[in-house]
Structure formats: structure tokens, C-alpha cells
Amino acid sequence: MPSAAGLNSPCIQMYFAAPMVTPQSSVTTLQTIAPLLASQQELPVPSARIFSIICIYNPTPMDLGLRNRTAIVAASSQGIGLATAEAFAAEGCRIAMCARNAEALRAASDRIRQQHKAEVFTEAFDVSDAQAVHRFVESVVARFGSADICVTNAGGPPAKGFLAASVDDWRRALDLNFLSTVYFAREVIPQMQKNRWGRIITITSITTKQPVADLVLSNAVRAGVVGLVKSLSNEFGKDGILVNNVGPGYTATERLKDLARSRSAASGRSQSDIFDGWSADTAVRRLGEPREVAETIVWLASERASYITGQTVLVDGGNYKGL
Ligand code: NAD
């Protein structure tokens, strides 16, 4: 423990910059430091500042508090969903994964079991099938005893302008990117209410804040998910359930390769030119990695984000141009 006289040293400032607070650590710190402060003739920093420094000081390393939680991650055989399942496994969660392709799902889940020694449950189905979602969540609870965290996800809708999109395209986008979220929320919320703790995190897109030219299906349908997220956060916050939305920007996955292919076909520009354009459009001048979206999701699910609900967090490298 540093002495009070040394409070201004860079080393001590670093100690006090530790962002996490637990009531117990604050009390312990206060008890330790109070006699030191009382013995000082002249306080090294203004007393009000010392008080606030004491209140934020926490000597323990960051603990996300997720160990042994059950995390459902939908559409997780590849891309952002897979990275999210891996990130929860790394935090000691039990993982429930789904996707349509059983073989891809098996390969993904085997990797997670091996790397993280995690308990992983998988089932292959289409997330736009309400009955399948019902059976899946039922099986997860039967196996793991709870459904603490639910990350909703699905493949993105096709890149199309308004007149090119058929009524079937709209129905499919609603089923896949809106109703699938409703199906999962309906199943997990009663489970979360029982434990008075839960986290629902929807994966949508930067299109929730900034529409993208040829993604009219995403632009329109994902706005509905944001409305749902806000409504659920208002209705179920009293039950200890936090509901947030994460909007990825251009993230290096198969989905982005598909988008590059369709834009290249429509415009005649090369795919590498299109990728370069996406990178140049961000503040950080590069594409995102699935891991970067996943880590934001894990943090939002954690005890460290316990007062955040009803929000959209963009993980877009500064692509969003608004304030
Ligand atoms: P991806 O195509 O790499 O992976 C999609 C995953 O969803 C795969 O595991 C696939 O098997 C699964 N899946 C697709 N349709 C499904 C269905 N009907 N039922 C069950 N599983 C299904 O995509 P990604 O890049 O990881 O994107 C995830 C989400 O984020 C998508 O909705 C996408 O539109 C959105 N998004 C991605 C980016 C990006 O740049 N990658 C940007 C913004 C938004």
C-alpha cells in the first residue's frame, strides 16, 4: 500500500486509475489510508480529490464476474458469433451454441472445448424457427440449470436497393433479423426472471445508426431490433435483466467477403478496392476483427457493465460519422 505522502507520484496515480469498484475494496482502502491522511500536516492533494480517488481505488485486478454463467450465443459457427462464444468460454462460462450447419458447429465447438476446457452444448437449427428456439433454450436450461446470458445473432440480409428487394426478401429479413430476437427473448426472459439476473445482447449493425446505401433490408429491419431492445430494457430492468445492442462496423468475416463480392459485381470495382474503401472510411483506417466485437459483448454482459441497459454500442473503428 503506498503512503499518503506519495499520492502524487506517477506510480500511485496509476494505482488509483484502476477503474473497477467493489464496495469492499473501497472500504478496505479507506480504512487503510484514513490514518495516513490524518497524520499529514499538509495533504498532498486537495482533500475532495483524495476522497474521490479513494472511492474509485480498487486493488484487485479486473474480474468480469462471469465464471460459471451460462451464455447462449446464437448463429455461432463462424464470424462474430463464434468469436463471442470463444470469448465467453475464456471467461469461464458454460456455452450453448447454434447454427444451421451441424458439421461447422461441431468443428467450432470442438475448438472451444479444447482451447478453453469449457462445457459446450450445441444444436443445429435455423434461428428463424420459433419452435426450434423454444426446444433449444429448454435443453440449455435442462443441461446447465440456467440461461443467464443470451446473445442473439443471425446471418445478415442480402445487399439490395429498395426496388430490387422483393416482398419475400422483406419477410425473410424480418424472420431472420427481427423475429429470431423475439423468439430468443421470449424463451430466456422467464428463466432470467427466476434468478433475478440476466443479460440479452443483440448483434445488429452500424446500420442502426447510419444507414448503408445498398443495405435497405438491414437499415429498416434492424431499427426494429433497437426499438425492441429499448422496450425490453424498460420492462425487465426491475428483474435484474439488462438488454443492450451491439452494432458492428466493417468486420473481417465471411459476411464481409460476401458483401465485397456483391458490390464488386454491381460496380465493376475490384474486391480489394472495396475493402480498401471500407478501411479508409473508419477513423482507425482498418477493418475490425470479430474478437473486437466479441470482447465488447462480453464486457457488456459482465458485472463491470451493471448500470448499462437499453443502449446501442457501435464497434466500428469510428466509421459512424455522427456525434
Ligand atoms: P457470418 O456470415 O460470418 O456468420 C454468420 C453466422 O450465422 C454463421 O455461423 C452462420 O452459420 C449463422 N447463421 C446464418 N443464418 C442463420 C440462421 N438462419 N440460423 C442459424 N444460424 C445462422 O456473419 P458475421 O460477419 O459474423 O455477422 C454476424 C451478424 O453481424 C450478421 O447479422 C451481420 O449482418 C452483422 N454485421 C456484420 C458486419 C461485418 O462486417 N461482418 C457488419 C455489420 C453487421
Ligand 1 atom at minimal distance to the Cα of residue 76: 9
Question: What's the confidence (pLDDT) of residue 43?
Answer: 44
| pLDDT at residue 54 greater than cutoff 50 | no
Q: How far is the CA of 241 from the centre of ligand 1 (A)?
A: 25
CA atoms within 13 A on the CB side of 240: 13
Rg of the chain in Å (alpha carbons): 23
- DSSP assignment of 236-305, as one string? HGGGTEEEEEEEE-SBSSHHHHHHHHHHHHHH---HHHHHHHHHHTSSSSS-B-HHHHHHHHHHHHSGGG
Ligand 1 atom at minimal distance to the Cα of residue 108: 9
Give the homologous superfamily in CATH for domain 70-315: NAD(P)-binding Rossmann-like Domain (3.40.50.720)
* pLDDT tens per residue across span 131-174: 999 999 999 999 999 999 999 999 999 999 999 999 999 999 99
**In the predicted model, what is the mean pLDDT of the chain?**
87
Q: How far is the CA of 147 from the centre of ligand 1 (A)?
A: 22
Ligand 1 pocket check for 152: Cβ under 6 Å: no
Residue 62: pLDDT band (50, 70, 90) is confident
User: Alpha-carbon distance 245 to 321, whole Å?
Assistant: 19
Q: Where are the domains of the chain?
A: 10-54, 70-315
Q: How far is the CA of 190 from the centre of ligand 1 (A)?
A: 26
Better pLDDT: 255 or 56: 255
| Residue 286: C-alpha distances to residues 82, 212, 290 (Å) | 21, 18, 13
Is the CB of residue 224 less than 8 Å from the CB of residue 214?
A: no
* pLDDT tens per residue across span 204-263: 999 999 999 999 999 999 999 999 999 999 999 999 999 999 999 999 999 999 999 999
Burial environment of residue 272 by CB neighbours within 10 A (0 to 12, 13 to 18, 19 or more): exposed
**What HEC string does 246-264 produce?**
EEECCECCHHHHHHHHHHH
* pLDDT tens per residue across span 101-139: 999 999 999 999 999 999 999 999 999 999 999 999 999
How confident is the model over 35-47, as a mean pLDDT? Answer: 47
Structure pTM?
A: 0.85
